[in-house]
Amino acid sequence: MTTPDKNAPLSAPPRRLNWNDPGVRSVVYQVLALAAVAWAVWFLVSNTLHNLSVRNIATGFGFLSREAGFAIGETPIAYSPASDYGRAILVGLLNTLRVAIIGIVLATILGTLIGIGRLSKNWLVAKVASVYVEVMRNIPLLLQLFFWYALITENMPGPRQAHNPLPGVFISNRGLKVPALEGNSLDWMLIGLGVAIVAIIFLGHWGKKRQEATGRVFPLGRAAIGLLIGLPIVGWLISGASLTLDMPELKGFNFSGGLTLSPEFAALLAGLVIYTSAFIAEVVRSGIQAVNNGQWEAAGSLGLRRKQVLRLVVLPQALRVIIPPMTSQYLNLTKNSSLAVAIGYPDIVSVVNTTLNQTGQAIEGILIIMAAYLTVSLSISIFMNWYNKRIALVER
């Protein structure tokens, strides 16, 4: 017969279900909340399906394979009225992505310059930047879109009297016409451009490590310009230099050839960039001001010029403050692109509206729009959150 060990730890008494126990109550409340949400979702879905069946309205996404039967003004991929609804919606999504991506890049550049301008020691530059921010962010975006669209379509001359500021460049109420590159070398040049961008990213990372180890600054700007120009030229030479310049020409009542920037796209892009850049400028200004003044003084005592201090010392620290609110502005620009339907730009909202008017699949159409914007917005958030973690301070 073994004697019990007096030094052995005592086992916890079994837990009994008691309403006075906070843990038990929390579990019960969570189960009840989940049950209520599940019941609400079931009720809404079943009620919707019942009403649709009573009215003999078809459900499902089978209509996506049917012929669309309507034209789209701007098609980045091959499309015709004989294409199906699925391809039409894809065209609308690509148009949305195009204006969102270009808008984010341009708004970031313009907003950063204006935000830095607000902190300039030049009185005129600082006041002009301040007026820009206060005016543009307090005018509703929809009114700005109407203004830019009317400015292009109503005040610009017709194609025969189009402005010709540069050879091959024409500005009229039909939009902007510029020369376009054509030929087999174009694909190779784009590959060279992609390789150049990847090389610049690696050079920037290597240059940062080199600067931390030796204190020597790598001239990334000059290297980037050389790569962006040189590698596409190398691709052009490798492919046999088969590249031609398609110049726009006036034929009849409109231009033919070249690359067209439609009035709808130009007005939407201008409105989104100008409106969003005003908010980005404030984000950049607040981020720079969040950096301690001692950083300016310490860098200045080393003999660095103000531009060098801003680029090498202040902005890298300000990014940790700038990135989170900047993400919100990128999401706002992407979602605000849905206002394109007001000026006739064929984005995903416009295309889906036409689709549901023809098919009567209103619920499915709205679900497609919601899923598209949700996917794009989550993609932007994931990328910006990854970048934010990458530049965050690491505590030791």
Enter the pTM of the model.
0.79
CA 259 to chain centre: 23
Q: Dihedrals φ, ψ of 189, to 5°?
A: -65, -35
Exposed/middle/buried for residue 41 (C-beta within 10 Å: 0-12, 13-18, 19+):
exposed
Q: Dihedrals φ, ψ of 260, to 5°?
A: -110, 130
Six token digits for residue 16 = 């009994």
122 closest CA partner among 291, 288, 306: 306
The conformational region for residue 3 under phi > 0 = left, psi -120 to 50 = alpha, else beta, is beta
Measured distance CA(173)–CA(158) in Å, rounded:
6
Six token digits for residue 396 = 């030791």
Exposed/middle/buried for residue 351 (C-beta within 10 Å: 0-12, 13-18, 19+):
buried
172, β-bridge pairs: 175
Measured from the Cβ of residue 114, the count of other Cβ atoms closer than 10 Å reads 23
Measured distance CA(285)–CA(315) in Å, rounded:
10
Six token digits for residue 29 = 């409340």
pLDDT tens for the chain, 396 residues long, are 555 555 655 555 555 667 777 777 888 889 999 999 999 999 888 887 777 777 776 677 788 888 888 888 888 888 888 889 999 999 999 999 999 999 999 999 999 999 989 988 888 999 999 999 999 999 999 999 999 999 888 888 888 888 888 777 888 888 888 887 777 777 778 888 888 888 888 888 888 788 778 877 777 778 888 888 888 888 878 877 677 777 787 777 777 777 788 889 989 999 999 999 999 999 999 888 888 877 777 877 777 787 777 777 888 888 888 898 999 999 999 999 999 989 989 999 999 999 988 888 888 888 999 999 999 999 999 998 888 887 776 544
Residue 136 in contact with residue 274, Cβ under 8 Å?
Answer: yes
Measured distance CA(216)–CA(139) in Å, rounded:
47
